[in-house]
Amino acid sequence: MAISIHQFIFNPFKENTYIVHDGTNCVIIDPGCYEQEEKEALLNFINDKNLQPKALLLTHAHIDHVLGCHFILQNFNIDFFLHEKDIPTLDAVSSYALVYGFQNYIAPPEPNQLLKGGEHLQFGEIEFDVLFTPGHCTGHVVYHDPKNNFVINGDVLFQGSFGRVDLPGGDLETLKNSIFNIMFKLPEETVVYCGHGSETSIGIEKKTNYILQF
């Protein structure tokens, strides 16, 4: 069966959570669900389609992308993937969640699958190449499916913009390197699914992205 991608928009940051599935197996990427109705929406989608979750994947561990991690791991006994350099980013969330109004944030257990970049992951018919793309934070990765011409890219590229670099671990020159030497080397027809906002393509961003002015 063809690979399908379903996008949810969760939490006040309007973060994009993705479920990628092959009709049977699915992976959950960057679960930002926090309110009960958000958690139920994600769970209902999985149950209604009779999907079998196989993994929780994080592009990175800023608060808006991890609010639902504990909930997911509480409901499903699945592997939890994060780049090893972003463990401190995940650990720090508990120290500032209250500042952003997330009084009920529960930290997830430590990821049991630590990424370095360069891995090939497979879950049923779902396959990803893991590309290390720091700059927005220290341990950012993207999940590239070359067979189906898409990449789940978190907060590296946005439509006409790019990830902020003013948070701990952010660095503009590092992000530019990730964009120009990794993301922009992907085929131009590659669809880019972003951590916020609409999807775009590598070809469009190579011609129009604001990063070109720096």
Total count of domains within the chain: 1
Give the pLDDT score at 121: 98
Give the pLDDT score at 214: 86
Determine contact, residues 148/3, Cβ cutoff 8 Å.
yes
Residue type, 68: G
What average pLDDT does range 199-213 have in this prediction?
97
Q: Is the pTM of this model over 0.75?
A: yes
Residues 12-57 pLDDT 10s: 999 999 999 999 999 999 999 999 999 999 999 999 999 999 999 9
Whichever domain contains 195, its CATH number is 3.60.15.10
Poorest-pLDDT segment among 8-12, 74-78, 210-214: 210-214
If you average pLDDT over every residue of the chain, what do you get?
A: 97
Record the tokens describing residue 51, joined without a space. 């999907």
pLDDT at residue 1 is higher than 80:
no
DSSP string for residues in 23-84: SSEEEEES----SHHHHHHHHHHHHHTT-EEEEEE-S---HHHHTTHHHHHHH---EEEEEG
3-state SS, residue 189 = coil
pLDDT above 70 coverage of the chain, percent: 100
Give the pLDDT score at 81: 99
What average pLDDT does range 69-76 have in this prediction?
98
**Structural domain span for residue 24:** 4-213
Give the pLDDT score at 93: 98
